[in-house]
Amino acid sequence: MLGSLTMVLTPRQKEELNKAIADYLQSSGFSATLEAFKNDASLPEETDKKYSGLLEKKWISVIRLQKKVMELESKLAEAEKEVHFGGTRAGNNT
């Protein structure tokens, strides 16, 4: 489903993503990959400390939000079933 979507980052978002990736590569000890990435992405030698741990934080947020979306989709499907079959929700005695 997501493969068919085209997502375009703004230049600023792309720069921030590249810096966060560089920080991740550095903190994970991927020094050869980091140097190649910095060269390909035209990044400076030193990356601002504000990007430290940013990729991991965003990844955790994405996982948490995916879980929340799945919970809400499940609740929606349940509510749609109740509407379709004319049922009432628990606690609704009207």
Nearest one of 38, 9, 44, 7 to 21, comparing CA atoms: 38
pTM for this model (two decimals): 0.69
Say how far apart CA 6 and CA 4 lie, in whole Å: 7
One-letter amino acid at 16 equals E
SS3 content of the chain, % helix, strand, coil (to 5): 70, 0, 30
Averaged over 49-60, what is the pLDDT? Answer: 93
Contact 40, 50 (CB under 8 A): no
- Average predicted confidence (pLDDT) for the chain: 88
**Which domains, ranges and CATH numbers included, belong to the chain?**
15-88 (1.20.960.30)
Residue 1 has pLDDT above 50, yes or no: no
Higher pLDDT, 43 or 48: 43
